[in-house]
Amino acid sequence: MQINVALFDETTHSPSLIDLVGYADAQQVIDFCYIANPYYPTQAMLDELTRNLPTLIKTYPSSNPRINARHLAQVLHVNPEHLIIGNGATELITELCRFLVLDMGVPIPTFGEYIEKIDRGRLRLYQLDPANGYQLDLDDYLAWLDSERLHAALIINPHNPTGQLFSLADMQAFLEKARGLELVIVDESFIDSSALEVPSLLASADDYANLVIVRSMSKHCGVPGLRLGYLYTGNEEWLQRLRSSLPTWNINTPAEFYLSMLPATDADYHASRRQVIEDVAHLYADLCRVEGITVYPTGANFVCFRVDNGMTAREVQRRLLVEHQMYVRDCSNKTGMDNYHIRVASQGRAKDRALAQVLPGVLGG
């Protein structure tokens, strides 16, 4: 298998498998790097998309974004007028940072888009302590925001890349204390995998005029190729500004068709979500039995661990890819993180178990 290793230095994210090894070889690799629900969409949904694809690619998407918002709002149980759907969460993050962020404090390490889309003059980085597993203390963070006289804050819950999860009560308590901030962005892209009762702020979001919730549908809905994400806020002024900044046709027709299938398949989605939660618990337990790593508790559909035997994350990543056709996330290029952390997205019980079985040999040299 030929690997285009130069690609790792050309992006702050991870290269796609297809870019790295080509279409044919990518089919032979288990992708633990990119995070996506392996059980949803269902096969029946994929079959329906396939049957309709010839028509969909010849048809313009809707010029009325409220139609798509109504489909999504049915399964989220929220006000569709407060939803904006984007071409991936990254499109919405870009618009948020461009139009709403005067300045912002960002705990690092984090998802790179929140750093890259804000110019350095408006960005303040809050370094999380590696000795404490890069865990965020909300009260300390809020005190720092106040001392820096910042207007906006970011919290990713569960955190990317560590998986740290804050309870709904913790987040609501933070928001009550943070009412003096102009903007609080809470990224909940992984929260549907955190618990059977999802501790999301969506149900109470309209109570906080300074709150914007961001979610990527790639992660919990398993459709990274469709490029779907959304934000929710009760702030009418922000909704108007953000809607006016987006292109008329920012969602493609296959993605719209997928959104229209969500209400009828909601029970299937929640069954898939429960399966992911079970799988992650097994993955976490299996990794905890591997010597030479420290595994972080997680509330997401991935597990993060630190390599403790002297090997770098890049060395572990390359050996897994070349020798075992397994692709994991080397977190070394995340600002604020050291060179020894790996993130593994659950890909189902059998594949997860296979990774845990080969990892000791990789770490042993």
CATH code for the domain in which residue 143 is found = 3.40.640.10
**Which residue did the predictor score with more confidence, 119 or 301?**
301
* Nearest to 259, CA basis, from 94, 15, 69: 69
Listed residues 247, 265, 283: the one ending a domain: 265
DSSP string, 122-167: GEEEEEPPGGGTTPPPHHHHHHHHHHTT-SEEEEESS-TTT-----
Domain that residue 347 falls in: 5-41+267-363
Query: Residue 285's CB: how many other CB atoms inside 10 A?
Result: 12
Sign of CA dihedral 87, 193, 199, 196: positive
Mean pLDDT of all residues in 72-81: 97
Tell me the sheet residues that pair with 293: 307
pLDDT-based confidence at residue 365 (cuts at 50, 70, 90): low
**Predicted confidence (pLDDT) at residue 258 exceeds the cutoff of 80:** yes
219, 35 in Cβ contact below 8 A? yes
Listed residues 230, 265, 300: the one ending a domain: 265
pTM of the prediction?
0.95
Say yes or no: 16 and 151 in one domain.
Answer: no
| Interval 214-225: pLDDT, tens | 999 999 999 999
pLDDT for res 24: 86
Domain count, the chain: 2
Query: Residue 281's CB: how many other CB atoms inside 10 A?
Result: 13
Say yes or no: 235 and 286 in one domain.
Answer: no
pLDDT for res 321: 95
Say yes or no: 125 and 50 in one domain.
Answer: yes
171, 186 in Cβ contact below 8 A? yes
Sign of CA dihedral 85, 187, 211, 197: positive
DSSP 290: S
Residues 109 and 158: their CA atoms lie apart, in Å, by: 13
Residues 227 and 253: their CA atoms lie apart, in Å, by: 11
Residues 341 and 364: their CA atoms lie apart, in Å, by: 17
Say yes or no: 261 and 150 in one domain.
Answer: yes
pLDDT-based confidence at residue 80 (cuts at 50, 70, 90): very high
Say yes or no: 291 and 199 in one domain.
Answer: no
Listed residues 265, 281, 298: the one ending a domain: 265
Say yes or no: 243 and 225 in one domain.
Answer: yes
Residues 322 and 301: their CA atoms lie apart, in Å, by: 25
Say yes or no: 165 and 179 in one domain.
Answer: yes
Say yes or no: 221 and 343 in one domain.
Answer: no
We report the CATH number of the domain holding residue 305 as 3.90.1150.10
Say yes or no: 117 and 136 in one domain.
Answer: yes
Say yes or no: 356 and 313 in one domain.
Answer: yes
Say yes or no: 86 and 233 in one domain.
Answer: yes
Say yes or no: 130 and 229 in one domain.
Answer: yes
| Interval 53-62: pLDDT, tens | 999 999 999 9
Mean pLDDT of all residues in 26-30: 92
Which amino acid type is present at position 260?
S
pLDDT for res 260: 97
Residue with tokens 């720092």: 144
**Predicted confidence (pLDDT) at residue 204 exceeds the cutoff of 90:** yes
Residues 272 and 268: their CA atoms lie apart, in Å, by: 6
